[in-house]
Structure 1
Amino acid sequence: MTHNGQSISGSATSVRSDEPASGDAPSRQRLTWGTRLSYGLGDLASQLVWTTTGSYLAIFYTDAVGLSAGAVGVLMLIARVFDAAIDPGIGAAAERTRSRFGRFRSWIIYGSPILAILLVLSFSTIPGSDGAKFLYAIVTYGLLGIAYSAVNVPYGSLVSVMTTDTQERVTLNSIRLIGTNVGVVLLNVITLPLILFFSGLTGGVGDEMTIAGYTWTAAVMAAIALPLFLITAFKSKEVVQPIHSTRVSLRTTARIVFGNRLLMLIFAIMMLAMTGFFGRLGVVIYYFIYAVGRVDLIPVLMATPAVAGVIGILLFTPLTRRFGKRAVAIVSLVAQGLSLVALYLVGWEDVTLVIVISAIYGLASFNAPIFWSMVPDAIDYAEDKHGVRADGTAYAVISFAQKIAAAVGVAIGLAALGAIGYVANTAQAPEVLSGMNVIVNLAPAILCFAAIIPLSFYRLSARQYDEIRARLDTAALRTLRKG
């Protein structure tokens, strides 16, 4: 039976909704395609917030509002670090939530309308001095980050409670990341044209996009994202629940989470790989505008890796069933790094070659769903070892890593732009363009290669996981018989 919303995290074992009456070990839950696709819509909605801010908020602040690149870098670092710091608290609160919707879905249902409003407010400003505009920006962006955490941490945690099948988790995370890439493609196809439209511009040379153009575009994104979040929340079911309602102290939860060797390796992997990925995403538009010099091709240049990424996920993540998650993820990181090195070496003058290599980079970027599917495996590993299921907190810790990586990556990228002499809305000097090439292509490549180091120490085979899952299922049945 389903114990939806009747107990809280921190209990000894977990139970499945498809528990057999015979007392045999529960079979692995297979999800319908309707459920899988509905779950993927949540990340599509998330990208309408995350990628819109990640790709366009910095240039909105520098080129529309008029803040300096250095100030924007500091702003984003402060806001993202604060946002990331609250993730573990949100995860702990979510896994202890009791509601008729379960532990995690209620956060999505009630938090997504607030998130939509804050997205619009973040792409606006107030009249006054640069100091007043900076203060408004840091408050609205900071609140946006908190709201995003309150929705996205529970959303990510759903994978660990929707099924116990490790390959099903790969599938869910693959669909989730396909949703990510579809969101990125959608954004890069429609965002710039929308900004230009609402700015009253045609996209000609010298056009300067207006604050109102960004604000109305954010409103469109918010209007699309909100119903997608709600579909995810109402179509996803929490079938893995803690059996006992005994509360576990936050200290115990923290000790188990931070003592989880596998989870800490995933943390290190995400810090390195995502610093490069999101740092590049946050500043690559500067490279396309000023180095490649084809504003008209920005939708194509930005969308190409995302489209190829969908193909890469569909083609290569199923290989984890045969070769294992670690081996396939290592291949992905190597291919990503080499493609970025190739982009650095060819430069920006041959636009066709830039698009082709960008497509290869996208094809190689299939590691994220693998990394995220490792998280519930690590949660089960810790539950088997310590008898406590801290799924919300564990996901929050990895979300923390991703957000810190994004904050550091974008902040360093913007600071580097300022250091090499970038000046908004002007032609850039040759040395500035060369510096952009290093920031956008070479530096992220190095971080891809660095992420292979902690990944090589992640060792949890399919056989070992099956043994862990069998012990947890047996413990769940034993507890049910006693109850």
Structure 2
Amino acid sequence: MASANRLSFPVVAAFGSTAAPIAAIGLVMGVYLPRFFTGHIGLSLGAVGAAFGIVRLLDLAVDPLLGMGMDRTRLKLGRYRPWLILGAPVTMLATYMLFMASPGISLGYLITWLLILYLGVSILTLSQAAWGASLATDYHDRSRVYGVIQAVGVLGSVMILLLPLFLAKTPMGAHGGVAAMGWFLIAAIPLTVALCATITPERVAPEVESQERIGLKDYWALLSRPEMIRLVFADFVIALGPGTTAALYLFFFHDARHYTAPQTSILLLFYIGAGLVGSMFWGFLAQRIGKHRALMASSVAYAVAQSMLMIIPPATMSLAIPGMFGVGFVAAGFVPIVRAMVADVADEVRLETGKERAGLLYALVTTTQKIGGAITVTVSYAVLQFVGYNPAEGAVNTPEAIRGLELCYVFAPIILVFFGGAAFIGWKLDAGRHAEVRRQLDIRDGLAAEADLLATASGVSLGRPPANQA
């Protein structure tokens, strides 16, 4: 059933446009940059793995602090719009310094600019996610909105994947086309942020007046909510699954499955491109059977699709293409569904406390992804180094090293994603419960708006309705 609050597609598309460069950066950072700094720049496998791990660990406190700052922002531009605008130049500068790096840079250089890049991406990602929670208020419309955001992100990833293919025989295509990817991102970030910031409306929900200052114990109370415990745990292990495959992708398909460099780019293109269809499908399914059921179904489907990769004979593009398309299709449902579920929890929190905490709630789940990213790169690279795998171009690896690579790439993600799906057995915040939460919020927001109008007209403050007003 269509809701009166359903957003038009042009607004959703404009809002989701920033997902294109954000997703593209995430793809390049997970797949291309580690190999770029080991194979071209000349840093060791252990050093690059350690750099990504150190940066992720140092970056853990950033998202909660950003979330607190966003939730407390009160500007004419809005609550989240100013942060989105701020994130653009930070991300652009760090992109230039990393993607245009030359051999001879130090480990300190890599760590410093990775930190700045992660900061910029965190600002962009978190502001967009929290803004989306206030933009789309209907339970089912959120599945659609976050599905569109995911689809736009897929388009950005596909576009950046095409660059190495088109530029393979040109100077810009050298070293995997990393420099060309950097210029693409530097151009796309300001364009999409401007489109989002100028077209998308921002609804700043009224808050219950309170003299009490919110402290860290209040934020810990949010994290300890049963719904958030499940979401944080699920987001963590699900991030570990595809995150492991991203860090090992080029090694696995080139060295273990014997595909050429152009073929690995084509396979990755089908994997990412499948997300365009998959994100829309899982968003549609979530509207029909509920978000938590759709997420459980996608986790089971992921295990089946990922297992098929080991059955496909090496260097067989005719089978590898549908195999990678299948994995990408089922994996596309993870992020948008979890993000939409966090928005539902944010509504419930605002009903109970009278305060907007979407920024911090999204910070909690984005922090788990950072932890997952630190673990996947650091641990998987350490395991590969332990089994004797050599990532250098032209290196010959032992069968034992290749077997260790295969086990890390295929089977570890299956187990992790399975646990993520199981976390939602018995989930309570479904469409019926959320409809009641929104009904009470709409009543209270209406009363608050009337009180503001009367106060403006009379010059006498009438106060706000209590947090539990329904």
Task: Report the TM-score when normalising by structure 1.
Answer: 0.87
- State the SS of the aligned residue for 1:456: coil
Q: How far apart, CA to CA, are the structure 2 residues paired with 1:217 and 1:195?
A: 13
Structure 1 Cα separation of the partners of residues 408 and 86 of structure 2: 39
Q: Which amino acid aligns with 1:181?
A: V
Check if 1:387 corresponds to 2:387: no
Match of 2:251 in 1: 286
- 1:241 Cα shift? 1.8
Name structure 1 gaps, 5 residues minimum: 1-26, 202-208
Asked if 1:353 is matched to 2:319, the reply is yes
What's the counterpart of residue 122 of structure 2?
149
Residues 326-335 or 294-303, more deviating:
294-303
- Name the aligned partner's letter for residue 277 of structure 1: P
Identity %: 24
Q: 2:45 aligns with which of 69, 83, 107?
A: 69
Matched, 1:101 2:67: no
Structure 1 residue 469: Cα displacement: 1.0
Moved more, 369-378 or 161-170: 161-170
- Contact kept? 2:163, 2:181, Cα under 8 Å: no
1:263 & 1:338 partners in 2: Cα distance?
Answer: 28
- The answer (yes or no) to whether the contact 1:163–1:240 under 8 Å persists in 2 is no
Which residue number corresponds to residue 175 of structure 1? Answer: 148
Quote the Cα distance in structure 2 between the aligned partners of 1:411 and 1:397. 21
Structure 2: distance between partners of 1:200 and 1:51: 17
The answer to whether 1:401 aligns with 2:374 is no
Partner of 2:399: 430
For residues 389 and 166 of structure 2, what CA distance do their matches in structure 1 show?
A: 25
- Do 1:265 and 1:457's aligned partners in 2 also have CA atoms closer than 8 Å? no
1:61 counterpart letter in structure 2 = F
The yes-or-no answer on 1:233 pairing with 2:202 is no
Once superposed, what is the RMSD of the aligned Cα atoms? 2.1
> Aligned partners of 2:228, 2:50: CA distance in 1, in Å?
29
Counterpart residue type for residue 92 of structure 1: M
Q: Does 1:306 align with 2:275?
A: no
Would you say the 8 A contact 1:344–1:438 is kept in 2? no
Q: Is the 8 A contact 1:304 1:358 kept in 2?
A: yes
Q: Which range moved further: 247-256 or 405-414?
A: 247-256
In the TM superposition, residue 35 of structure 1 has moved relative to its aligned partner by: 0.8
Deviation at 1:330, TM superposition (A): 0.7
Correspondence list, 1:57-456, <5 A: 57-125=33-101, 128=104, 133-191=106-164, 193-194=166-167, 197-198=170-171, 209=175, 214-244=178-208, 246=210, 248-251=213-216, 253-291=218-256, 292-346=258-312, 348-365=314-331, 366-423=333-390, 424-425=392-393, 426-456=395-425
Q: Could you tell me whether the CA contact under 8 Å between 1:125 and 1:133 is conserved in 2?
A: no
SS at match of 1:455: coil
What SS does structure 1 have at the residue aligned with 2:106? helix
C-alpha change, 1:127 and 1:369, in structure 2 (3 Å) is closer
**Structure 1 residues 298 and 349: alpha-carbon distance in aligned structure 2, compared to 1, 3 A threshold:** closer
> C-alpha separation between the residues in 2 aligned to 1:94 and 1:200?
39
Structure 2 spans left out of the alignment, 5+ residues: 453-470
Distance change >3 Å, CA 194–CA 262, structure 1 → 2? farther
Secondary structure of 2:170's match?
A: helix
* Deviation readout 1:67-119 (Å, 9 max, x if unpaired): 11111111101111222321000011012112222011111112202211111
Which stretch shows the higher mean deviation, 264-273 or 353-362?
353-362
**Relative contact order (C-alpha < 8 Å, sep 6+): which is higher?**
1
Query: C-alpha displacement at 1:33, in angstroms?
Result: 1.1
Change in Cα spacing, 1:441 to 1:250, as seen in structure 2 (3 Å) is same
2:144 partner letter: T
**Residues 161 and 241 in structure 1, CA contact (< 8 A), matched pair in contact too:** yes
In 2, the alpha carbon distance for the partners of 1:234 and 1:309 equals 27
What number of residue pairs does the alignment pair up?
A: 445
CA distance in 2 between partners of 1:410 and 1:448 (Å): 17
Deviation at 1:245, TM superposition (A): 6.1
SS at match of 1:75: helix
Counterpart Cα distance in 2 of 1:325 and 1:200: 41
- In 1: Cα distance, 2:173 partner to 2:88 partner: 30
Give distance in 1, aligned partners of 2:378 and 2:314.
23
Deviation at 1:284, TM superposition (A): 0.4
- Show CA shifts across 1:375-424 (max 9, x none): 11011112223333211111111111112112212222222221222221
Provide the rounded CA distance (Å) in 1 between the counterparts of 2:313 and 2:241. Answer: 19
Question: What is the SS of the residue equivalent to 1:242?
Answer: coil
Return the alpha-carbon distance in structure 2 between the equivalents of residues 246 and 193 of structure 1: 58
Alignment CA distance shift 1:193-1:64 (3 Å): farther
Alpha-carbon distance in structure 1 between the residues aligned to 2:320 and 2:415? 19
Are the equivalent residues in 1 in contact too, given 2:42–2:103 (CA < 8 A)?
no
Per the normalisation by structure 2, the TM-score is: 0.89
Describe the shift of the 1:343–1:175 C-alpha distance in structure 2 as closer, same or farther (beyond 3 A): same
Report the AA paired with residue 381 of structure 2: L
